[in-house]
């Protein structure tokens, strides 16, 4: 999400690096570009104005410009101010009360219902017992949607008979949780416009009736300049405690979140990273700042790995790598494990310096190349998988036919796998660089 | 405000919400869904004044600010900067706002800065098409096909209901195709609308191949002699290559089943969208070829300024504006009036 923004910033600021002498005019030129980059990322224009003014004031009129690494110093200031912007607000997710109540509010189409299901799944994984409450009686089939999502994440959903007032639905939902011993209630509300006084009044009444310990505003990452006003208008009606930023798996630059944080002090608490119900991440500003600055986000990757990977399988693979006995069979197993962790592009992006590769890899997945690799390996016999050196021309032709691919594709995979094995042997000896991945050109 | 002004021109051809809704009950299409027994008839009570109010509310801030800036005496650098900021605040985009202001300054318009900025903004939009939008249908023996596409949550399904109601109100036999087989309860959502509007719908089970749904819908449309098939597609982020491919496949399905029929492809854009809207429009245009834009949620406080950049880049006209949640809350988009309204 923030890639395009960070790419632009690095590009602009890159021109300052390695330069001993930086003039005031250089800084101004760079700031004009930074301003454009931020505005193109949908950061609110008032926030941008303040940001530029602060950076400029810190860079000019001090001895920084006189120093030997002036360019680096200016970049450092930008980074610090950026991290500062990202780090606004209190990020603690509070579940207090019996049951604890979480309410999701927002504009139409921001992703409340999907986020509610994701959040329920997330909390259930942490040992909580959530109850989802369908409190959107207006949009056709909104209740159906939550019921279906609830079924898919195996969380019960409370629905009220048609015609029940929304305040009543919410109250009954909480009562139901108390009766059935669920310890968290997640209330999915209808999308509403901030200028709709009747509906804004309704949400205020709901909040007063059920006193949520968390009232999260769900914000689409693609939102423009209006995001700040929307947040402020919702905050005026209900006591907002944080944000869920959705659809960040697109290429939107996510300036909305930065802006809301800077203006209203509300922190992003969760990120929606895809359409699957497990595509929800807690938000860590330091990690995200790292991602923006191209330092990767290894912590999130490790957590995701711990959550989804089968430790035994991983250990076995590592052991085989050490003994140089890593076969195509293991390779297939690894690939399937990786897939469970989420889109490969997102995974690689979390590793420092892998952004370019991440894009290429995701492209390979989208083009179906990984599926081809799977098909090719699955079309081999056990002996072939264990020892690819026995693959003669006739075996390769059979595999190509069996997997619905072509001979060149089979040959390419075998060549790449051979290279990978060679690299791994090299790594064993030198403890050096990471291996090339077996796809892409 | 500007919608009210344009209504006399477009209203006679069906632009009026009342005409779009009332006949839905007397729909000539033999519906295979239960007739709309729904007492809360869609759009009931949506007078033009209410719609105008809705749009006005969203416009007021933006226009009033431009207005006051540009009317207030001699225009110095600071005032021009304020104009630029106002455009940026309306999601016009920083680069484009700078360009517009620079060109407006160069104009030295005798009518003053207001006229200059207005003229420059107008140049970004294609001239208004004659009359309200109707799906192209060169061959009257075959149904027109309308594909409705966009990213998640922009209001595709609601827009389809509104467009279907309008076309049905004009006497067209409309058939809906539920090709969003991915999102939970998306089919049920469209079915609910079909039932309220008493329109036939073709739907498969969740998870089915969208192209198969479209193929069947086209079959049904030919068999029933329908005039228009409106296809609801799943919301998809424009960065997902394989999902964009799926759209191209739907397009090929139409070519296969109804050779010679060029579908209308309406791109649904949420007015609250920022600069990403341009990337969205470009990607969808590249994947499937857009023929029109529906700008939704214009009754919010958002300004929809990204439309200028999209029009400048692609030249695909905005054909409808969504201004509320009721079926009648869909109005013709008049580009001249749109620009003029910035200063009202």
Give how far A397 is from chain B: nearest CA, Å: 28
Q: Are A201 and A148 in contact (CB under 8 A)?
A: no
The answer to whether A195 faces chain B, any CB pair under 8 Å, is yes
Give how far B138 is from chain A: nearest CA, Å: 35
Out of A36, A193, A195, the one facing B95 most closely (by C-beta) is A36
In the β-sheet with A242-246, what is the strand arrangement from edge to edge? A157-158, A130-135, A184-189, A100-105, A214-220, A242-246, A268-272, A280-282
CA distance A223 to A43: 10
Out of A42, A229, A366, the one facing B275 most closely (by C-beta) is A42
Tell me what pLDDT residue B44 has: 35
- Taking the CA of residue B264 as centre, how many other CA atoms within 13 Å lie in the half-sphere pointing to its CB? 26
The model's pLDDT over B143-179, given as tens digits with 9 standing for 90+, comes to 999 999 999 999 999 999 999 999 999 999 999 999 9
**A–B interface: beta-carbon pairs under 8 A:** 150
Out of A109, A250, A368, the one facing B276 most closely (by C-beta) is A250
CB B95 to CB A275 under 8 A? no
The model's pLDDT over B187-221, given as tens digits with 9 standing for 90+, comes to 999 999 999 999 999 999 999 999 999 999 999 99
The model's pLDDT over B258-312, given as tens digits with 9 standing for 90+, comes to 998 999 999 999 999 999 999 999 999 999 999 999 999 988 878 888 999 999 9
Tell me what pLDDT residue A362 has: 67
Tell me what pLDDT residue B42 has: 36
Domains and CATH numbers, chain A: 3-86 (1.20.120.140), 100-283 (3.40.50.300), 302-430 (1.10.260.30)
Q: Are B36 and B197 in contact (CB under 8 A)?
A: yes
CB A140 to CB B270 under 8 A? no
Q: At what angle do helices B77-89 and A45-59 cross, to 10 degrees?
A: 130
Chain A residues whose beta carbon lies within 8 Å of the beta carbon of residue B155: 108-109
CA distance A184 to A242: 17
Answer whether 0.80 is exceeded by the pTM.
no
Residue in A with minimal Cα distance to B277: A222
Give yes or no for residue A123 having a pLDDT over 60.
Answer: yes
Q: Using 50, 70 and 90 to split pLDDT, how confident is the model at A433?
A: very low
CA distance A199 to A108: 12
Over residues A106-125, the mean pLDDT reads: 96
CB A251 to CB B279 under 8 A? yes
Give how far A254 is from chain B: nearest CA, Å: 9
Chain A residues whose beta carbon lies within 8 Å of the beta carbon of residue B95: 36, 40
Q: At what angle do helices A285-292 and A3-14 cross, to 10 degrees?
A: 50
Interface test with B, best of A140, A254, A274, A345 (most B CBs within 10 A): A140
Helix (H) or strand (E) holding B246: helix B241-257
CA distance B181 to B187: 7
User: What mean pLDDT is reported for chain A?
Assistant: 81
CA distance A184 to A181: 9
The model's pLDDT over A201-234, given as tens digits with 9 standing for 90+, comes to 999 999 999 999 999 999 999 999 999 999 999 9
Give yes or no for residue A400 having a pLDDT over 70.
Answer: yes
Q: CA nearest B100: which of B78, B124, B79, B76? A: B124
Tell me what pLDDT residue B17 has: 34
Residue in A with minimal Cα distance to B54: A195
Chain A residues whose beta carbon lies within 8 Å of the beta carbon of residue B186: 141, 145
DSSP state of B126: P
- Helical ranges in A42-69 per DSSP H: 45-59
* CATH number assigned to the domain with residue range B31-36+137-333, chosen from the 4 options 3.40.50.300, 3.40.640.10, 3.30.450.20, 3.40.50.170: 3.40.50.300
Going from N- to C-terminal start, the domains of chain B cover 31-36+137-333, 50-123
CB A226 to CB B301 under 8 A? yes
Would you state the structure tokens that stand for residue A265, as one six-digit string?
């002090």
CB B188 to CB A41 under 8 A? no
Q: Are B308 and B103 in contact (CB under 8 A)?
A: no
Q: Using 50, 70 and 90 to split pLDDT, how confident is the model at B125?
A: confident
Give yes or no for residue B124 having a pLDDT over 90.
Answer: no
Out of A36, A224, A230, the one facing B273 most closely (by C-beta) is A224
Give how far A382 is from chain B: nearest CA, Å: 32
Would you state the structure tokens that stand for residue A375, as one six-digit string?
């098909």
Chain B residues whose beta carbon lies within 8 Å of the beta carbon of residue A32: none
Percent of chain A with pLDDT over 70: 72
CA distance A111 to A131: 18
CA distance A34 to A22: 16
Q: CA nearest B136: which of B146, B126, B128? A: B146
Chain B residues whose beta carbon lies within 8 Å of the beta carbon of residue A227: 272, 274
Tell me what pLDDT residue B8 has: 33
The answer to whether A251 faces chain B, any CB pair under 8 Å, is yes
Over residues A3-18, the mean pLDDT reads: 65
Q: Using 50, 70 and 90 to split pLDDT, how confident is the model at A247?
A: very high
In the β-sheet with B144-149, what is the strand arrangement from edge to edge? B201-203, B174-179, B228-233, B144-149, B264-270, B292-296, B318-322, B330-332
CB A142 to CB B270 under 8 A? no
CB B185 to CB A141 under 8 A? yes
Instruction: Compute, in degrees rounded to 10, the torsion defined by CA atoms B76, B81, B83, B89.
Output: -160
In degrees and rounded to multiples of 5, residue A440 shows phi and psi of 85, 180
The model's pLDDT over B62-86, given as tens digits with 9 standing for 90+, comes to 556 666 666 655 556 777 887 888 8
Tell me what pLDDT residue B3 has: 37
User: What mean pLDDT is reported for chain B?
Assistant: 80
Q: At what angle do helices A369-378 and A355-366 cross, to 10 degrees?
A: 70
Tell me what pLDDT residue A322 has: 64
Tell me what pLDDT residue B23 has: 33
Residue in B with minimal Cα distance to A197: B300
Q: Are A42 and A224 in contact (CB under 8 A)?
A: yes
- CB neighbours (10 Å) of residue A310? 11
Over residues A39-57, the mean pLDDT reads: 90
The model's pLDDT over B89-100, given as tens digits with 9 standing for 90+, comes to 889 999 999 999
Residue in A with minimal Cα distance to B185: A145
In degrees and rounded to multiples of 5, residue A324 shows phi and psi of 65, 30
Tell me what pLDDT residue A178 has: 96
Give yes or no for residue A309 having a pLDDT over 70.
Answer: no
Tell me what pLDDT residue A34 has: 83
- Helical ranges in A129-264 per DSSP H: 142-153, 166-180, 197-210, 227-237, 255-264
Residue in B with minimal Cα distance to A256: B274
Give how far B335 is from chain A: nearest CA, Å: 22
* Segments of A242-359 assigned E as strands: 242-246, 268-272, 280-282
CA distance A271 to B78: 39
Percent of chain A with pLDDT over 90: 41
Please determine, for the modelled complex, whether the ipTM score is greater than 0.85.
Answer: no
In degrees and rounded to multiples of 5, residue B233 shows phi and psi of -115, 160
The answer to whether A144 faces chain B, any CB pair under 8 Å, is yes
**3-state SS, one letter per residue, for A217-230:** EEEECCECCCHHHH
- Helical ranges in B135-238 per DSSP H: 156-169, 186-197, 210-224
Q: Are A249 and A273 in contact (CB under 8 A)?
A: yes
Chain B residues whose beta carbon lies within 8 Å of the beta carbon of residue A247: 151-153, 237
Q: Are B231 and B159 in contact (CB under 8 A)?
A: no
Q: Which residues contact B102 (CB under 8 A, 6 or more apart)?
A: none
Percent of chain B with pLDDT over 70: 74
Over residues A334-348, the mean pLDDT reads: 66
CB contact burial A356-375 (16+ within 10 A = b; e otherwise) = ebbebbbebbbeebbebbbb
CA distance B18 to B51: 11
Residue in A with minimal Cα distance to B206: A148
Chain A residues whose beta carbon lies within 8 Å of the beta carbon of residue B306: 224
Least confident span in A2-11, A261-270, B151-160? A2-11
Peptide bond into A99 cis (omega under 30): yes
- Taking the CA of residue A432 as centre, how many other CA atoms within 13 Å lie in the half-sphere pointing to its CB? 10
Over residues B231-240, the mean pLDDT reads: 94
Give me the CATH topology for the region B50-123. 1.20.120
CA distance B300 to B15: 21
Q: Are B313 and B293 in contact (CB under 8 A)?
A: no
Out of A110, A195, A223, the one facing B57 most closely (by C-beta) is A195
DSSP state of A65: G
How open is the CA angle A82-A88-A89, to the nearest 5 degrees? 170
Tell me what pLDDT residue B169 has: 96
Q: Are B334 and B10 in contact (CB under 8 A)?
A: yes
Q: Which residues pair with B174 in a beta bridge?
A: B228
Out of B154, B241, B305, the one facing A363 most closely (by C-beta) is B241
CA distance A39 to A134: 37
In degrees and rounded to multiples of 5, residue A4 shows phi and psi of -60, -40
Cα-based distances in Å from B330 to A192, A232, B163, B315, B320? 18, 28, 8, 22, 7
Chain B residues whose beta carbon lies within 8 Å of the beta carbon of residue A41: 275
């Amino acid at each position: 999400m923030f890639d395009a923004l960070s790419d632009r910033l690095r590009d602009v600021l890159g021109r300052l690096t390695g330069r001993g002498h930086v003039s005031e005019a250089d800084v101004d030129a760079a700031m004009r570009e930074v301003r454009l980059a931020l505005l193109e990322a949908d950061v609110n224009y008032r926030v941008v104005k303040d940001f530029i003014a602060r950076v400029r004031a810190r860079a000019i009129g001090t001895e920084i410009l006189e120093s030997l690494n002036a360019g680096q110093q200016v970049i450092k200031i930008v980074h610090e101010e950026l991290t500062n912007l990202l780090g606004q607000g209190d990020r603690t997710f509070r579940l207090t009360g019996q049951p604890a109540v979480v309410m999701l509010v927002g504009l139409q189409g921001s992703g409340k219902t999907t986020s509610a299901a994701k959040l329920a799944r997330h909390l259930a994984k942490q040992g909580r017992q959530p109850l989802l409450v369908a409190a959107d009686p207006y949009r056709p089939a909104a209740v159906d949607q939550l019921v279906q999502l609830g079924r898919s994440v195996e969380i019960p959903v409370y629905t009220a008979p048609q015609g029940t007032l929304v305040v009543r639905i919410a109250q009954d939902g909480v009562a139901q949780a108390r009766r059935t011993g669920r310890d968290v209630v997640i209330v999915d509300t209808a999308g509403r416009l901030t200028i709709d006084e009747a509906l804004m009044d309704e949400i205020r009444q709901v909040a007063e009736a059920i006193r949520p310990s968390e009232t999260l505003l769900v914000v689409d990452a693609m939102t423009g300049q209006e995001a700040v006003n929307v947040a402020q208008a919702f905050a005026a009606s209900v006591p907002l405690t944080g944000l869920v930023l959705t659809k960040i798996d697109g290429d939107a630059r996510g300036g909305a979140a930065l802006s809301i944080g800077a203006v209203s002090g509300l922190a992003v608490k969760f990120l929606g990273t895809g359409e699957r119900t497990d595509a929800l991440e807690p938000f860590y500003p330091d990690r995200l700042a790292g991602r923006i600055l191209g330092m990767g986000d290894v912590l999130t990757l490790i957590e995701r790995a711990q959550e989804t990977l089968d430790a035994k399988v991983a250990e076995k693979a590592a052991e085989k790598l050490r003994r140089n006995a890593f076969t195509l069979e293991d390779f297939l197993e690894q690939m399937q494990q990786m897939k469970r962790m989420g889109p490969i592009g997102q995974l690689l992006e979390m590793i420092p310096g892998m952004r370019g590769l991440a894009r290429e890899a995701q492209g390979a997945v989208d083009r179906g190349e990984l599926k081809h690799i799977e098909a090719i390996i699955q079309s081999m016999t056990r002996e072939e998988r264990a020892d690819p050196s026995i693959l003669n021309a006739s075996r390769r032709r059979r595999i190509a036919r069996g997997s619905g691919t072509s001979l060149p594709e089979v040959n390419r995979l075998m060549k790449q796998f051979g290279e990978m094995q060679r690299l791994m042997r090299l790594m064993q000896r030198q403890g050096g660089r990471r291996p090339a991945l077996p796809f892409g050109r | 405000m500007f919608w009210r002004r344009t209504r006399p021109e477009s209203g006679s051809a069906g632009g009026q919400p009342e005409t779009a809704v009332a006949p839905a009950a007397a729909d000539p299409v033999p519906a295979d869904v239960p007739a709309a027994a729904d007492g809360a008839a869609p759009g009931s009570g949506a007078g033009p004044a209410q719609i105008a109010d809705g749009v006005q509310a969203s416009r007021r801030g933006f226009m009033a600010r431009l207005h006051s800036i540009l009317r207030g005496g001699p225009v110095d650098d600071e005032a021009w900067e304020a104009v630029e900021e106002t455009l940026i605040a309306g999601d016009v985009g920083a680069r484009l706002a700078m360009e517009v202001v620079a060109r407006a300054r160069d104009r030295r318009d005798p009518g003053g800065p207001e006229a200059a900025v207005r003229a420059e903004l107008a140049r970004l939009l294609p001239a208004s098409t004659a009359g309200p939008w109707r799906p192209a249908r060169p061959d009257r023996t075959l149904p027109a096909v309308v594909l409705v596409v966009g990213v998640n949550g922009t209001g595709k399904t609601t827009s389809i209901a509104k467009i279907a109601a309008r076309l049905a109100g004009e006497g067209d036999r409309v058939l809906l195709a539920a090709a969003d087989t991915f999102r939970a309860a998306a089919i049920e959502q469209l079915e609910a609308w079909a039932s309220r509007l008493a329109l036939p719908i073709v739907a498969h089970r969740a998870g089915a191949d969208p192209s198969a749904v479209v193929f069947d819908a086209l079959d049904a449309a030919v068999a029933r002699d329908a005039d228009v098939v409106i296809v609801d597609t799943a919301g998809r982020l424009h960065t997902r290559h394989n999902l964009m491919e799926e759209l191209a496949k739907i397009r090929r399905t139409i070519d296969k089943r109804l050779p010679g029929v060029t579908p209308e492809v309406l791109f649904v854009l949420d007015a609250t969208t920022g600069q990403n809207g341009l990337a969205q429009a470009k990607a969808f245009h590249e994947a499937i070829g857009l023929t029109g834009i529906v700008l939704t949620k214009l009754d919010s406080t958002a300004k929809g300024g990204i439309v200028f950049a999209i029009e400048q880049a692609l030249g695909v006209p905005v054909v409808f504006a969504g201004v509320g949640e009721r079926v009648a809350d869909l109005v013709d988009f008049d580009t001249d009036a749109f620009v003029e309204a910035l200063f009202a």
